[in-house]
Structure 1
């Protein structure tokens, strides 16, 4: 859910800026994409990351890199388009489900891979960081969903 939240934040942050001044925001957006992607590529390229670990943390990191690249495309597209087509919103929400599943897999693999901290430390700690980010973003969406449910009007009030 971490990548889903980053796209959400990029979209809503860009709407505060007038349309003709969004080029500066695209620069900030590129910096955030680099902050997310560069550490993952660094850990992926490390020789220690290919050592044996009981859990497939390297495969999971590869999936995370692929989803991060897709998320960067969504973030750039969402900040440039106004209005965003419904089909793009639908694909964004499907991506959110994929991101949620990947975050859940990351959490499970990381929690069961404590021994990998000795054999593949960079890979294990990157997985731990992604797990914490996923848990934080899931909490964010749980609070946001709860607020959305409490602010909805009751059905009887809407009919009157």
Structure 2
């Protein structure tokens, strides 16, 4: 109901403005060479998918192999989307003048994507070690492994 209320309020507040002053800027002043808006749209689609995976992964136990594989494919797509966001944002500094809201949102999303990538790259050696030497990184049954003490209170924080 919150979303409905916000749209309803925006509609009524916009009607208080004269018709001619609702959109003052000319169209040519709101142009950006890079496809930042299209990229933001794909980012929103990934956000919806993220919500679905969040629900699935929190409710399912054990997690089926198909869901895991699909989640990791989603991760690769998310990585690619983060690279595109960063590339488009870096190559669009002129958009800070023409469409500042879109540019700064893309800039924030780029920084967050880079930070998430750094975090995942940090975890990859642990995942690989766990594949080749099961239980070496974290073994909950025997309460042993390299990562047992740091994650003893929040088990399985580092993998799906």
TM-score by length of 2: 0.62
Q: For the residues of structure 1 that align with 2:46 and 2:94, how far apart are their CA atoms?
A: 26
Return the index of the structure with the highest Cα Rg.
2
- 2:88 is the alignment partner of 1:144: no
In the alignment, does 2:73 pair up with 1:94? yes
The CA RMSD measured in Å over matched residues stands at: 2.1
Aligned length: 107
- Normalised to the residue count of structure 1, the TM-score between the two structures is 0.62
Q: SS state of the match for residue 83, structure 1?
A: coil
For structure 2, list consecutive stretches of 5 or more residues without a partner in the other structure.
Answer: 1-22, 134-160
| Superposition deviation, residue 142 in structure 1 | 1.0
Which of residues 76, 84, 88 in structure 2 aligns to 1:105? 84
Secondary structure of 1:84's aligned partner: coil
Higher helix fraction (1 or 2): 1
Q: Which residues of structure 1 form unaligned runs of 5+?
A: 1-46, 154-160
Instruction: Find out whether 1:82 has 2:61 as its counterpart.
Output: yes
How big is each residue's C-alpha offset from its partner over 1:21-53, in whole Å with a ceiling of 9 and x where there is no partner? xxxxxxxxxxxxxxxxxxxxxxxxxx88x8310
Seen in structure 2, the aligned counterparts of structure 1 residues 93 and 150 have a Cα distance that, compared at 3 Å, is: closer
- Write the distance in 1 (CA, Å) between the matches of 2:90 and 2:49: 26
Q: 1:131-151 deviations in whole A, cap 9, x for unaligned? A: 001100110011111344467
Higher relative contact order (CA 8 A, sep 6+): 1
